[in-house]
A and B are shown apart, each in its own frame.
Chain A
Amino acid sequence: MGNQPKKTAEGLFELPDGDLDKGYLLGSKCAHCGMVSFPKRKICPSCLADDGIEEIPLSKRGKLFSFSINQMAPEGFKAPYVMGKVDLPEQVRIFAVITGCPPEEDALSIGMDMEMAFEPVYRGKNGEPLVGYTFRPAGRATK
Chain B
Amino acid sequence: MGKPARNVAVIGIGMTKFGKHPELSLKDLAREAGWAAIRDAGVDPRNIEVIYCGNSVEGLLSGQEDVRGQVVMREMGLAGKAVINTPNACASSSTSFREAWLAVASGVYDIALAVGFEKLYIDDTAKTTRALASCTDVMTEGNMGVFFPGMYAMEAKRYMHDTGCTREHLAKVAVKNHRNGCLNPHAQIRHEVTIEEVLNSKLIADPLTLYMCSPIGDGGAAAILCAGDIAAQYRSDPVFIASSGMSSGAYQDLAIDRPSPTAVQMAAQEAYEIAGIGPEDIDLAELHDAFSPAELIYFEELGFCPHGEAPRYLDEGRTEIGGAMPINTSGGLECKGHPVGATGLAMIHEVVTQLRGHAGPRQVRGPKVGLVQNGGGLIGGDAAAMCVHILKI
How many of B's residues come within 8 Å of A, CB to CB?
37
A139 contacts chain B at the CB level, 8 A cutoff: no
Nearest-Cβ distance from residue B248 to partner chain A, whole angstroms = 13
Nearest B residue to A132, CB-CB: B144
Question: Given A38-B254, A92-B254, A95-B253 in contact, is the A72-B157 Cβ separation under 8 Å?
Answer: no
CA distance A84 to B253 in the complex (A): 12
A107-143 vs B, CB cutoff 8 Å, 1 = contact: the mask equals: 0001000000000011000000000100000000000
What is the size, in residues, of chain A's interface with B at 8 Å between Cβ atoms?
A: 38
> Which chain B positions have C-beta within 8 A of A73?
126, 129, 147
Q: Which residues of B contact A91 (CB under 8 A)?
A: 255-258
Q: Is the CB of A83 within 8 A of B254?
A: no
Indicate whether A66 sits within 8 Å of B126 (C-beta atoms), given known contacts A45-B254, A85-B253.
Answer: no
Distance between Cα atoms of A22 and B150 in the complex (Å): 30
Main secondary structure of the interface of B (DSSP, over half): helix
A74-B145 contact, Cβ under 8 Å, with A68-B153, A69-B205: yes
Question: Residue B161 contacts which of A75, A110, A132 (CB distance < 8 angstroms)?
Answer: A110
In the docked arrangement, what's the CA distance between A35 and B191, Å?
A: 50
Rounded to whole angstroms, the CA-CA distance of A9 and B143 in the bound complex is: 9
A46 contacts partner chain B, Cβ-Cβ < 8 Å: yes
Q: In the complex, A76 Cα to B126 Cα: how many Å? A: 9
Note all chain A residues with C-beta closer than 8 A to B206: 68-69, 105
Q: B255 contacts A122, CB within 8 Å?
A: no
Q: A39-B140, A66-B154, A67-B154 are in contact. Are A74 and B255 (CB under 8 A)?
A: no
Question: Which 3 A-B pairs give the minimum distances between C-beta atoms?
Answer: A68-B150, A93-B253, A68-B153
A interface residue numbers (CB < 8 A to B): 8-9, 12, 35, 37-39, 45-46, 65-77, 81, 83-85, 87, 91-93, 95-97, 105, 110, 121-122, 132
- Chain B residues with CB under 8 Å of chain A are 125-127, 129-130, 133, 139-141, 143-147, 149-151, 153-155, 157-158, 161, 202-206, 252-258, 380-381
| 5 chain-A/chain-B pairs, Cβ below 8 angstroms | A35-B258, A37-B255, A70-B150, A75-B126, A95-B253
